[in-house]
Amino acid sequence: MIKILLKNVAIVTLSFVSVSLFADAGEDLKLRLAKIESMQAKFSQIVIDELGTELDSSSGSFQIQRPKKFKWLVSEPYEQEIVSDGVNLWQFDKDIEQINVSNLDESFNNSPAALLSNAGDTIIKDYLIARVQDGGQNGEESSVIFHLRPKSEEALFESMLMEFKADDFVAFQVKDNLGQATIVEFSEQQYNQSLADDFFKFEPPVGIDLIDSRNTETDLIKPPQIMDTEAVKNEN
């Protein structure tokens, strides 16, 4: 699957020369995403540089639900939790015992996650889109790969590939503005499952430092018991 995405990067990019031939690509992708109210899956992820050298790899699981809610849990090689509750974006790095929280809209609107959890509501307005049909090899099921290039100069990525087999969303690749690419493959996908109302609610664990970027100035918020300790020292 990853090889298919990499193989088609040049092909799909060239298709923008005659993008009018793929005028229906945006509508096709929008319809596919609109079918996904929620999604759960396991993932494997690699990061490569502009020469194709692997820089990093990780795996875990994720859940996403319209609108703007998702939970991305990295289990290997380190534990990390990224959660959007629809308003705030939380990142919990368990190895360094630190939590960062920011306003969702500031870090979300121009990101790949916005595209996925908004189900393509503004996809045609915000992206140039081309489509490539891969016939499959060695008995593999054929794929449809969409290439998206943001129209906004403020976008957080240069381009994105999304791969579908029938209606199954199986992989995506994001290339950033420095030439690095993140490639994610999904397995054990489940769609449109019911999730509890508080599933995407994040409760910061007691005793963990919290960096809150939602304010005008970034504040380091100390855990309650540490603050109590400092208060006792000051009183003395």
pLDDT tens, 140-169? 678 889 999 988 887 778 999 999 998 899
What letter represents residue 236's amino acid? N
132/22 Cα distance (integer angstroms): 9
Query: Which of 68, 62, 56 is CA-nearest to residue 43?
Result: 62
Cα(98)–Cα(203) distance, rounded to whole angstroms? Answer: 13
Kindly tell me the sign of the dihedral angle through the C-alpha atoms of 207, 65, 184, 175.
Answer: negative
Please give the Cα distance from 81 to 39 (Å, whole number).
Answer: 17
Share of the chain above pLDDT 70, in %: 72
Q: Is the pLDDT of residue 219 over 80?
A: no
Instruction: Write down all domains in the chain, each with its CATH number in brackets.
Output: 2-203 (2.50.20.10)
Mean predicted confidence (pLDDT) in 68-87? 93
Predicted confidence band at 114 (pLDDT cuts at 50, 70, 90)?
low
| 57 CB-near residues (< 8 Å, 6+ apart) | 44, 45, 46, 47, 77
- Give CB contacts under 8 A, 24+ apart, made by 102-108: 102/213, 102/214, 103/213, 103/214, 104/68, 108/68, 108/84
pLDDT by residue (tens digit) across 169-213?
Answer: 999 999 988 889 999 999 999 999 988 889 999 999 999 999 998
- List, for residues 9-31, the tens digit of each pLDDT value: 444 444 443 343 456 888 888 88
CB 153 within 8 Å of CB 167: no
